[in-house]
């Protein structure tokens, strides 16, 4: 999730747990702890010049629930041993608050589609429940209001109720997002079963800023299908559109390290295309057809086979438009389409 959301989640949690007399300090501590796991991006930029590694290593060690619980316990002990009287006076409250502020960060991240390695280093695919978009005002708003009230009216009894209420409302919204996702998955399965694709790899994800409009991507041998579903307006069978992918080139390059790494990280939800003799892989989980946020050149065709190259990221990947529209026209068309569907 975005940094503001993580800050207000951490602040609201800590402020709700510690004594009322320490709420302002709790808000600051929770805000710092809530955003701390995402600082892993800085050393990754310095230590790894491989954009594939930068992507797949993010949300790994710094988002591990076991390690964060240990780290939170260590922080509590250090403040209890060497710090001021706050933690010494209420050590158990501060320990619970600090640990929760840290571990709820990756748990919330897991509700997005990016992928979070909650149990690093024990392997397995990154967790991606993909029921909320990375920025969702309806989740953040209640926590932001509660934190502002806690800062300006820190010792009032009403503030405690607002903090608890904000946490309950935001959690209820996550519960709703899972219910909405279930409805979309059921609609997708009903539409795909007659096509013989009920068991095909697929994922669903909400489109920006809402849990009312969803996108479903289904992988096939010759490419992938995309369908969208509005929970407010759509009735009847879900419709899908087919898009090509050079799956033969992807299979031929399967042993290249960057391809293996991406295939593990995104579970094979990739579009492959060959451009100027280079293999370009796009992560289908983030972005809208035909433009995706993460695109990597990973191999070059040479001497009759794919050879690994130093991966590089294409920050703006704009495949040719069949209708000849400019980038600006395509962005405006996508925005109009999303608004109309919502």
Q: What is the pLDDT of residues 296-318, one digit of tens each?
A: 999 999 989 999 999 999 976 56
Contacts 24+ apart (CB under 8 A), 290-295: 290/243, 290/318, 290/319, 290/321, 291/316, 291/317, 291/318, 291/319, 291/330, 292/317, 294/55
pLDDT at 60 over 90: yes
DSSP string, 186-244: HHHHHHHGGGT-TTS-EEEEEPTT-SSEEEEEEEETTEEEEEEEETTT--SS---EEEE
Q: What is the largest CA-CA distance in the chain?
A: 74
Mean pLDDT on 180-194: 97
Residue 274: pLDDT band by 50, 70, 90 thresholds?
very high
> Domain limits of the chain?
3-178
């Amino acid at each position: 999730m975005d940094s503001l959301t993580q800050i207000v989640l951490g602040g609201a949690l800590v402020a709700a747990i510690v004594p009322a007399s320490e709420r302002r300090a709790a808000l600051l501590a929770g805000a710092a702890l809530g955003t701390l796991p995402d600082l892993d991006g800085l050393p990754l930029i310095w230590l790894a010049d491989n954009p594939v590694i930068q992507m797949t290593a993010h949300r790994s060690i710094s988002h591990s629930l076991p390690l964060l619980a240990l780290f939170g316990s260590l922080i509590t002990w250090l403040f209890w041993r060497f710090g001021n009287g706050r933690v010494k006076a209420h050590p158990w409250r501060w320990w619970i608050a600090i640990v929760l502020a840290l571990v709820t960060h990756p748990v919330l991240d897991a509700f997005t589609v990016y992928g979070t390695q909650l149990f690093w280093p024990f392997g397995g695919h990154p967790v991606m429940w993909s029921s909320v978009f990375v920025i969702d005002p309806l989740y953040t708003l209640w926590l932001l209001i509660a934190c502002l009230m806690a800062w300006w009216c820190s010792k009032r009894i009403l503030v405690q109720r607002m903090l608890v209420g904000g946490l309950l409302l935001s959690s209820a919204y996550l519960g709703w997002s899972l219910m909405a996702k279930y409805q979309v998955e059921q609609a997708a399965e009903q539409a795909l079963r007659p096509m013989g694709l009920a068991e095909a790899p697929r994922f669903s994800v909400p489109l920006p800023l809402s849990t009312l409009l969803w996108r479903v991507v289904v992988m096939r041998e010759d490419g992938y299908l995309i369908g969208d579903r509005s929970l407010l307006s759509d009735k009847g069978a879900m419709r899908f559109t087919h898009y090509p992918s050079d799956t033969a080139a992807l299979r031929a390059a399967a042993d290249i390290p960057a391809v293996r790494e991406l295939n593990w990280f995104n579970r094979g939800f990739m579009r492959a295309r060959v451009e100027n003799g280079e293999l370009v892989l796009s992560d289908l989980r983030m972005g809208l057809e035909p433009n995706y946020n993460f695109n990597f050149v990973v191999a070059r065709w040479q001497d009759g086979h794919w050879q690994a190259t130093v991966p590089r990221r294409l920050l703006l990947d704009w495949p040719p438009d069949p209708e000849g529209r400019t980038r600006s026209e395509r962005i405006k068309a996508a925005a109009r389409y999303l608004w109309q569907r919502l």
